Every structure is written in structure tokens, then in C-alpha cells.
Structure 1
Amino acid sequence: MAFLQKGSKSYSIFYLKCPRCQEGEMFETGSWKMVKPFDMLNRCPKCNLNYYPEPGYYYGSMFISYIWTGWFCLLFIAFFHWFLGWGQTAAFSLLGVFLIFNFVYIFRISRLMWININYRYDPKAIEKYEANQAGKS
């Protein structure tokens, strides 16, 4: 499936990987661990990409989160209420449970979407970083 293959922005976003090398992690813990759920690494451990290029950089990710979560909620309720015939209370209750369990993942996906706007995949990023480090020694 080309949509989630390494080298695509969707790979970086959905697997929570560095947008430049797509091998380094962006967050300290997994999405389903409630220990440090919002803590990001400062730099990519593989290619040394700075995850915080400027103060307030991720402010825009709030808007991305708001937009795609809003559309998701509308489509979720429409599907369960109109297509499956569930009552509004049941559909909204299920949506609430889904959002409670996935709020950390939604936060992380939004940050990855934002950083992927400004950086693109470089298959040689790790090699360049390692060569740079070897030259400094």
C-alpha cells in the first residue's frame, strides 16, 4: 500500500516518525502509555532534526487538530446515527468514549501533520548526520 510506505508523509504521520529520516521516534513513550503522554524528544535520535525549530512552533497544530477532529466527529455521528440507525445518545456516547481513549494519539497526529508541512523525507539524512559526526571527531 503506497499510502503508508516509507517515504510518504502519511508514513511519518501515522507511525509517529521523524519527517526527515522516518526512522527516529518523535515522542518519548508510546501513544497508549499514560506516562509522559505529551512529552516530545528535542531532536531526532537518528538524523538530529530539531523538533522545536522555534518557540510556539506547534501552535498551528491546534488548528489542524480542531479541523480534522471536528470533521471526524461529524462523519462518525452521521455514520452511526443515519446509516446504522443508532440513537443520538448512543452515537454521541460512543464518540465520547472513542475520543477519551484516543486524545493522546490525536494530539500526536496533529503535531506530526504540522511538522510534515515544513520537512520532507530525505533517505540519506542519517548518512549525512553520521558523516558530519565522524568529521567532527
Structure 2
Amino acid sequence: MTDVPDLALAQKILATQPFSVLLGARLVAFGDGEAALELDIREELCQQNGFVHGGVLSYAADNALTFAAGTAAGSRPLTAGFTIDYVRPAQGVLLRARAHVIRAGRTRAVSRCDLTTVAADGAVALCAVAQGAVSFT
């Protein structure tokens, strides 16, 4: 493990990603093989039926998986690939992507991510799960 950033540095890294800034993503947890990303759900992030667009869910999974892997290696993690399964339509006021490292090696890590939504009344619902591989450069 070399040069693993802390939460404050990881948040600065997220802030350098123009697409993350456009979406309003926030890194709310980072460390010990885990990372959590949050987005406020707003109309611009939804598809025609009012559900959060699958591309937004994929973005959140991708970034959370990669940030989680970065806690294990810290050496410029890059997504090598991931799969996502949509469990139910995503709706509510907040989207949360929580990822954790399943296995980390010297050059690659595998992470898993649960994507949940939080409703206005605080109810939490699982809307997607993802798993991915991250390479370290």
C-alpha cells in the first residue's frame, strides 16, 4: 500500500472530475477498503418515467468501486470493467453508492457496490448492485 489518500484528498480528487462536478457527486466515506458516494436525485438525472437514469447509477457504481479500490492501493486506480444489475427503479431524494474491496492484489482489485436510494421519509431501498475490477497504474 503506497500513497493511499485520506478522505479530504479523495474528495479533492473527485472535485477534479468535471462529470462528477456536473452531477453534484459527493464522496462521503473513504478508507479501510470502503468508499461511499452520494448524489441528490433531481429531475435532470431521471429518465422519462421519473426514475434515476441507468447511466447515473452506472456512473455512481463505477466511481464508488474505483474509490474503494483506491483505499487498498492508492496508486492511480482505473476501472478495468464492471457489471451492474438493476434491482428496482431508483427514485427518492438521495442516491448512495457504497462499495467495498473484496480482494486487492498488487496490480488489481475487485470491489462490490450496493446502490440505494433514500426517500423523503428516510426509507432506504436497494436499486442496483455492481461488481468490478480496478487496475493500478
TM-score of Structure 1 vs Structure 2, range by shorter chain: under 0.3
Indicate the structure with greater helix content.
1
TM-score (normalised: structure 2): 0.24
Rg larger in 1 or in 2?
1
Structure with larger RCO (C-alpha < 8 A, sep 6+): 1
TM-score (norm 1): 0.24
